[in-house]
Structures are given as structure tokens and as C-alpha cells.
């Protein structure tokens, strides 16, 4: 639902905070003063503490002899400094310090003189010092501050200086021991590495001799030779193809004489030309002289001789080409054989080279490590020989006996107590507001209901049963009082509402329970409206508690119940108050408590009639939980909820509001009644 809220209190804004401070200023002031008082007592009774400190500088650890650092480029400052801080806080070192300055003999050097001299064990003293000693790195430097707080100013400085001195002394002793152990380790390691290097060199020589490896370039020579043979093989294969092609041309020709390779021969071409000339001459001689003529015989013999020479030359060329083809074949086979043999040799050389490279790498690594360790070993030997031992830390500044105490600081403690007191007081005040489940001010009520709070009306002194009469009387006698001002706020709001909505001039005042000052509010508000010149009609609609009629002495007269029952007319039940000029209708003589619920139509006609005659009609309705009558009264009215200050809880209000909403009725606003006169002005500002 829109108007419901969760159990959690809404967020506190600045306005709420200021209001809370104003309401609970006494509590806040009291808590603040109490905190100041406690701080003063503490300052007077607390032990005075003196703080002394010295600064130790850690030297560059490039000469660190740790084995793992022999192969590293440098040191890790952060880890080194953190480790040294742990050394300074070690129990053994602290124990040596306390023993040296005599604290074990007189434990109360570190405690106030007025303390009861109870037995204190050595472990308790050591734990006390470790807990109270302050060791920190100064920014990002290698400087370490060592501080200690004690009631004894001399003991504080003495303990800090002794701790620094013993730390440096133990560092020198530790470095000497470490140097000696490192020297021994390096000696053994160098001897072992020399043996390993000699052994690996011997293995390399034996391996080369075993597989006849002269140098490491063997594979390269084989690769060059294989490359040359590959080129020769390609040339031989090309020549073989060419020879085969020529042979195929001769074998494939229809006549060997017409083969292209034969025809390319200049000798054959010349012989063919001579043959042709002789054939022509033989033909002419045969035609002229005949076959038996001597010239003819001579020419025929020459022609036959030329033909024989052509045949001989052709046979020579054919045989030459056949020989060339066979030679090319043999050459290709031979080159392939050589190349295969080189491949086998190359694979073996490659295998030998890999094994040789592994041995060589192992030898190189061992030699490099040997060289590095040998150099370091010689450095260590020199340091041992000439005792080149300097401490890895030095004291930059010694602790002096403090002149001023570290604490307690009165100014700081007082300021903290004031701030703490104010904060605690505010927390208490806010908590009280959060735990307050009853309505306290208008701002609070508006947050819970999401509807306007119209006014806060103060409570008047006197008995509750005469509240209506006293309220009316007070209004006339004290027109400038806070009570009258609150009523004017209410009436102004109602008049503005009527101006904005002229047809909505009927206002039903209800409450959560009886005794909330509702009737007194209706009566005095009606009187104030009359004083402002409005024609007002007030109707008492609370059948169970007709307070309004009793105040104006209408309880024995006919009223609303008689009018709704139809036994009287309207003019018979309207009474005019002489003092205020307002018209009133009392509840009358009630014969039937359900008369309002039964006479809904008559009620609507009544409201329609009076709305024409009066400027405003005010209903003194029953509590909202009287749902039977409220369902009739609230339908045609502008409903206003009266909430009793610090008595009515927000849960009751929300329940009533949601109940009305479930019947499709809404609240125009709320009025907080019976507010404490002393707090009315403050609450109006909240």
C-alpha cells in the first residue's frame, strides 16, 4: 500500500537531525560533560609514558653470502628489511637486551613505582617488551626506527640503544659464521666442478676419436658435397633425357636418312648435294651415251661411292648417339649412388654432432659456473685473510633520554572526549527517536502517512472531561495564545481548501481512539471559523461518546438520531450557540445505535440540504475503527485524523488509514492534539 511503511525507520536527513538535537540537547550535553569528566579523571590517574627511539641503517647487502644470492643480480630490499625487523623483535635478542640492562634483576624498571610488586616471570617481561616495542621502516629507505615506551625515561632510552647495539654485534658474529660456512661450501663446490670439467673434456676427446670426428665442420663439408652432387645429378638427368630424345627421333623416323639429327650433319648435307649432282650427270650421260659408255660407267661408280659414304656417315652418327645415351645412363646411376652414400654419411655425422653438442654444452656450463664460483671463492678467501668484516648495519642516531612525556596528552584527550561525547549523545538521541513508536511531531507524522499535517494543537490545563468547555473558553479569552494560533492554522487550511473546491465543504473529524481531543478541536475550530465570518454548522456524530453535545448542554435535547429516525424536522434539532453564533446539532436521544448506518439516504439528503445554507459543515465523527458509522460519514466528507501527541502510535494510525483506504476513503490531513505547551514552538519548527 502507498501509505504503509516498513519497520525500519526512514533515513535521517539534516532537518531531522537538527530537530533531534534540539529535542535531546539535555541528553547530549549530559553525555558530553560525562565524557569530559571521565577524560579528566583518566588524565589525573594515568601513568606518564616516555617514548625513546633510535635509527639503525641497514647497509647494502650486495656482499650477502647466501648461496641462492651467488647467482642473483641483487637483493630484494623489502624482504630483507622485513626479515631484519623480525630479527629485532625476536625473543632471543630481547632476552639478551633485558639481561644486559638488568631488568631481570629489577623487573619494575619498566613499570610505575606505585604498582604492587607482584612476582613477574622472565617470559612476562619478554612478552611485555615485544608487545610495546615499535619497529618500523622509515618511508622507502633502509633506515629502521626502533622505539619503546615506558614510565621510566632512562629505561626507555637504555633499552632502545642496547637493542640496537646487540643487534649490530650479533650481525657481525652471524656474518663471520656465514662467511666461514660459505667459504667451505665454495671450496667443496669448486673442487667438484674442476673434477667434472676435466671428466667431460676427456669424454669429448674420446668421443671424437671413436667416431673419427676431426672438427665440428664435418657436416658442413658433407652438405656442400651433397649440394654439388645434386646439381650434377640434375645436369646428368637433363643430358640423359636429351640423348634419349635424339635416339627416339632416329628410331621413330620412316627413314634414318630423314632423321633430324642426321640432317643436321654438314658432311651428310655436302655428300647429299654431291650425290644429287652426280645423279643428274648420270641421268644426262645415260640419255646421251647409254649404259655402256665409259663416261657413264665412271659417273655411276662415283655416284655409288658417294652413296656408300653417306651410309657410312649415317651409321657413325647413329652409333655416336647410342654411345652418348648409354654414357648418360651410367652417369646418372653413378651420381645417385654417390648421393645415397653421402646421405648415409650425413645422418651418421648428424647423430654424432648432436651427442657431441650435448657434451660440449655440459662442459661449457660447468666451466662458466666454475669460473664464477672460483672468482667468488677467491673473494671470500681474501676477506678471511685480511678480516675484511664490517657490520651490515650501523646506528644513525642513538636514543636520548626524553624530556617530554608521550602521553597522556591532555589536549588531545579532552578534544576526543568532547567529540566522542557529542557523537555518543547524538547516537543516543537518534536511537531514542528511532525507538519512539508514538507520534512526536508533524514532520514525523507526514513521513509515516504521506499526507499533510495541518496543525499541532497544544494541551490546556485542567480535567479531561471538561476539555471542550475549557478549550472554547480559552479561545475567547486568549486570542493571541499558542492554542488560538494553532486553531487559526487549521481554519486557514480549511478555508483555502473550500476556496479551491467549493463543493467540498463538509469535514469529518475522526481519531484512532477516544480521548484524543477531537471534540474540543471541532468545537474550538468551529468557533474560530465563526469569528472569521463563516456560517458554521457542527454535527455531533459520535453515538457512543457525545462529548460535543454534553459541552453545549444538548444531551437532553432532540438531535441527529431523532432527525434520522424521522421523528422531528431539521429546524427542531438545530441550536445556535449565543457566544459563538455557530449552529449545532447534538446526538439527541439514541434509541438505535445503528441509526446512522440504517439511514444512509436520509443522511445524504441532510448533507445536501445543509451544504446550501452553510459555508462549512464540521462533523464530530466517531473513531475510525467504528467502521459501520464511518463508512457513511466518510463517504461525502473530507476526512481529518486527530492524533494525540506521544500517545497514538504510528501503527494505529496506519491501520486506521489503511482501513479507510480499503473502503475507498482517503484522509485530507492530520492534526496532532494535546501537545505539551512547553514544546509546541519547538515542534512547530521541526
DSSP letter string over 555-589? Answer: TTS--HHHHHHTSS-GGGT-EE-TTT--EEE----
Residue 188 · residue 380 · CB < 8 Å: no
**Residue 273 pLDDT:** 77
- Whole-number Å distance between alpha carbons of 128 and 106: 15
Query: Domain with 607 in it: what CATH number?
Result: 3.40.50.300
**In degrees, to the nearest 5, what angle opens at C-alpha 135 toward C-alphas 132 and 138?**
145
pLDDT band at 191 (very low <50, low <70, confident <90, very high): confident
For residues 425 and 445, membership in a common domain is answered with: no
DSSP-derived secondary structure for 341-394: HHHHHHHHHHHHHHHHHHHHHHHHHHHHHHHHHHHHHHHHHHHHHHT----SEE
User: 3-class DSSP state for residue 510?
Assistant: strand
pLDDT value at position 74? 42
| Helix runs in 102-152, H state only | 122-132
134 and 283 housed in the same domain: no
Residue 646 CA to residue 686 CA, distance in Å, equals 15
CB atoms within 10 A of CB 272: 17
Question: Do 416 and 470 reside in the same domain of the chain?
Answer: no
Q: Which of 344, 372, 397 is the last residue of a domain?
A: 397
Which grid cell is 628? 459501520
Query: Per residue in 414-436, pLDDT tens?
Result: 999 899 989 998 888 777 766 66
Q: Which residues contact 134 (CB under 8 A, 6 or more apart)?
A: 53, 145, 146, 147, 148, 149
Q: Between residues 464 and 654, which one has the greater pLDDT?
A: 654
Do residues 527 and 628 both lie within one domain?
A: yes
Q: Is residue 113 part of a domain?
A: yes
Residue 685 has pLDDT above 80, yes or no: no
> Is residue 378 in a domain?
yes
* Total of domains in the chain: 4
CATH number of the domain where residue 52 is located: 3.30.1890
Tell me, yes or no, whether 420 and 271 share the same domain: no
Query: How does residue 324 score in pLDDT terms, banded at 50, 70 and 90?
Result: confident
Residue 71 lies in a domain: yes
Residue numbers of the domain that contains 143: 47-183+390-397
Helix 518-531 with 482-500: angle, nearest 10 deg: 70
Mean pLDDT along residues 368-381: 74
In this predicted structure, what is the pLDDT of residue 157?
Answer: 87
Last residue of a domain, one of 397, 426, 453: 397
Residue 192 in any domain: the answer is no
Q: Each residue of 518-533: pLDDT tens digit?
A: 888 998 899 999 989 9
The grid coordinates listed for 152 are 621510566
416 with 359, same domain? no
Cell 459541552, residue?
551
Alpha helices in 599-679 (DSSP H): 600-613, 627-633, 650-662
Residue at which a domain ends, from 386, 420, 448: 386
Are 226 and 371 found together in one domain? yes
* Three-class DSSP category at 516: coil
Are 222 and 170 contained in the same domain?
A: no
Residue 493 has pLDDT above 50, yes or no: yes
pLDDT at 607: 92
Q: How confident is the model at residue 89 (pLDDT cuts 50, 70, 90)?
A: confident
Residues 135, 27: one domain? no
Does the pLDDT of residue 214 top 70, yes or no? no
What does the mean pLDDT of the chain come to? Answer: 79
Report residue 365's pLDDT band, with 50, 70 and 90 as the boundaries.
confident
- Range name among 50-54, 192-196, 581-585 with the lowest pLDDT average: 192-196
Residue 537 lies in a domain: yes
Assigned domain for 7 exists? no
Global pTM reads: 0.46
Residue 504 inside a domain? The answer is yes
Same domain, 631 and 670: yes
C-alpha distances out from residue 384 to 71, 93, 182, 379, Å: 21, 27, 11, 9
359 burial (CB, 10 Å; 0-12 / 13-18 / 19+) is middle
Residue 68 forms part of a structural domain? yes
- Same domain, yes or no: 544 and 579: yes
Is the domain of 35 the same as that of 51? no
- Stretch among 155-159, 280-284, 357-361, 570-574 having the lowest mean pLDDT: 357-361
Average pLDDT over residues 54-61: 79
Which range is least confidently modeled, 86-90, 284-288, 517-521? 284-288
- For the segment 188-197, the average pLDDT, to the nearest whole number, is 79
Amino acid at each position: 500500500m502507498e501509505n504503509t511503511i516498513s519497520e525500519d525507520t526512514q533515513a535521517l536527513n539534516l532537518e531531522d537531525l537538527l530537530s533531534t538535537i534540539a529535542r535531546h540537547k539535555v541528553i547530549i550535553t549530559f553525555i558530553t560533560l560525562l565524557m569530559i569528566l571521565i577524560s579528566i579523571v583518566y588524565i589525573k590517574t594515568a601513568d606518564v609514558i616516555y617514548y625513546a627511539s633510535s635509527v639503525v641503517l641497514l647497509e647494502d647487502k650486495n656482499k650477502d653470502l647466501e648461496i641462492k644470492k651467488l647467482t642473483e643480480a641483487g637483493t630484494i630490499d623489502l624482504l630483507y628489511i622485513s626479515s631484519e625487523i623480525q630479527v629485532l623483535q625476536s625473543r632471543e635478542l630481547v632476552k639478551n637486551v633485558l639481561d644486559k640492562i638488568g631488568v631481570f634483576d629489577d623487573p619494575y624498571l619498566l613499570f610505575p613505582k606505585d604498582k604492587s610488586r607482584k612476582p613477574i616471570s622472565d617470559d612476562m617481561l619478554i612478552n611485555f617488551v615485544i608487545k610495546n616495542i615499535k619497529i618500523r621502516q622509515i618511508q622507502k629507505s633502509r633506515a629502521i626506527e626502533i622505539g619503546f615506551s615506558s614510565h621510566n625515561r632512562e629505561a626507555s632510552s637504555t633499552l632502545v640503544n642496547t637493542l640496537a647495539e646487540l643487534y649490530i654485534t650479533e650481525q657481525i658474529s652471524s656474518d663471520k659464521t656465514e662467511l666461514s660456512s660459505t667459504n667451505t661450501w665454495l671450496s667443496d663446490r669448486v673442487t667438484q666442478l674442476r673434477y667434472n670439467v676435466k671428466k667431460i673434456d676427456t669424454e669429448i676427446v674420446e668421443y671424437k676419436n671413436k667416431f673419427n670426428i676431426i672438427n665440428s665442420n664435418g657436416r658442413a663439408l658433407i652438405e656442400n658435397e651433397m649440394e654439388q652432387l645434386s646439381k650434377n645429378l640434375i645436369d646428368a638427368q637433363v643430358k640423359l633425357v636429351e640423348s634419349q630424345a635424339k635416339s627416339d627421333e632416329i628410331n621413330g623416323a620412316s627413314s634414318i636418312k630423314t632423321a633430324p639429327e642426321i640432317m643436321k650433319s654438314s658432311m651428310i648435307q655436302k655428300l647429299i648435294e654431291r650425290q644429287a649432282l652426280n645423279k643428274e650427270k648420270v641421268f644426262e650421260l645415260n640419255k646421251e651415251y647409254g649404259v655402256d659408255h665409259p663416261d657413264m660407267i665412271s659417273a655411276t661408280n662415283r655416284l655409288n661411292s658417294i652413296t656408300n659414304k653417306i651410309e657410312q656417315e649415317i651409321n657413325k652418327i647413329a652409333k655416336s648417339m647410342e654411345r652418348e645415351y648409354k654414357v648418360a645412363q651410367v652417369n646418372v646411376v653413378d651420381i645417385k649412388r654417390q648421393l645415397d652414400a653421402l646421405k648415409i654419411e650425413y645422418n651418421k655425422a648428424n647423430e654424432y654432432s648432436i651427442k657431441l653438442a650435448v657434451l660440449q654444452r655440459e662442459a661449457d656450463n660447468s666451466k662458466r659456473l666454475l669460473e664464477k664460483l672460483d672468482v667468488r671463492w677467491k673473494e671470500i678467501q681474501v676477506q678471511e685473510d685480511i678480516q675484511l668484516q664490517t657490520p651490515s648495519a650501523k646506528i644513525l642516531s642513538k636514543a636520548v633520554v626524553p624530556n617530554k612525556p608521550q602521553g597522556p596528552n591532555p589536549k588531545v584527550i579532552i578534544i576526543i572526549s568532547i567529540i566522542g561525547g557529542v557523537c555518543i549523545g547524538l547516537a543516543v538521541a537518534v536511537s531514542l527517536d528511532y525507538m519512539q513508536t508514538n507520534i512526536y511531531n508533524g514532520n514525523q507524522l507526514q513521513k509515516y502517512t504521506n499526507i499533510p499535517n495541518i496543525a499541532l494543537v497544544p494541551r490546556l490545563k485542567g480535567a479531561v472531561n471538561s476539555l471542550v468547555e475549557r478549550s472554547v473558553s480559552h479561545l475567547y479569552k486568549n486570542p493571541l495564545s499558542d492554542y488560538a494560533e494553532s486553531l487559526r492554522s487549521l481554519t486557514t487550511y480549511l478555508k483555502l481548501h473550500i476556496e479551491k473546491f467549493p463543493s467540498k465543504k463538509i469535514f469529518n473529524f475522526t481519531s484512532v481512539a477516544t480521548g484524543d481531543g477531537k471534540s474540543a478541536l471541532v468545537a474550538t475550530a468551529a468557533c474560530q471559523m465563526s469569528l472569521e465570518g463563516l456560517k458554521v454548522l457542527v454535527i455531533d456524530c459520535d453515538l457512543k461518546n457525545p462529548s460535543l453535545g454534553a459541552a453545549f448542554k444538548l444531551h437532553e435535547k432532540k438531535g441527529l438520531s431523532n432527525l434520522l429516525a424521522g421523528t422531528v424536522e431539521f429546524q427542531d434539532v438545530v441550536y445556535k450557540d449565543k457566544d459563538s453564533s455557530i449552529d449545532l446539532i447534538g446526538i439527541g436521544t439514541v434509541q438505535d445505535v445503528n441509526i446512522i448506518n440504517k439511514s444512509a439516504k436520509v443522511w445524504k439528503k441532510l448533507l445536501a440540504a445543509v451544504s446550501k445554507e452553510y459555508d462549512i459543515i464540521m462533523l464530530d465523527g466517531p473513531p475510525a475503527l467504528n467502521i459501520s458509522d464511518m463508512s457513511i460519514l466518510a463517504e461525502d466528507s473530507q476526512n481529518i485524523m486527530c492524533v494525540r501527541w506521544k500517545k497514538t502510535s504510528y501503527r494505529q494510525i496506519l491501520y486506521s488509514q489503511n482501513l479507510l483506504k480499503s473502503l475507498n476513503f482517503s484522509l485530507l490531513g492530520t492534526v496532532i492534539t494535546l501537545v505539551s505547551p512547553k514544546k509546541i514552538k519547538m515542534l512547530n519548527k521541526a
